[in-house]
Amino acid sequence: MDEVLVPCLVDSGAMNTLLPGWVAALAGIDCNAAPAKTLGVAGSATSARMVTTSLAIGAHSWEAEVGFCEPWPRGWGLLGQLSFFRYFLVTFRAVDFELEIELSLTSAERQDAAAARCPVTPAAFASWFTR
């Protein structure tokens, strides 16, 4: 599989991550056997072939389901909830025109990090409130 760089819109209102169909062709991803979904995007319909593939931002990569769309009249892709937001903590600072993206921790990693910062374990904390 070849690497293809695609500018993307980070869309907290989108469920799916969607890319133009030509991206799959350039990356060597075969979408022919993939299930197709008809989706509404920005007031128009498109057909998306849903394929699990590798995505990357900086040095971090992950496997996720992506819809490769035809037609796709935009020059950018769309990063949505299921394939993007679930892996990252995303902070929008509209007043500063900034977007911050951090790796999201799993539940176990969050508990480990909290226990390292706090002498009271999450389990002890929960039992203290249930007495």
Residue 128 pLDDT: 42
Give the mean pLDDT of the chain: 81
Residue 129 pLDDT: 42
Check the CA dihedral 26-1-81-91 and report its sign. Answer: negative
Checking if the pLDDT of 114 tops 70, the result is: no
Report pTM.
0.75
119 vs 85, residue with greater confidence: 85
State the pLDDT confidence band at 1, using cuts at 50, 70 and 90. low
Domains of the chain: 8-103 (2.40.70)
Other CB atoms within a 10 A radius of the CB of residue 49 amount to 20
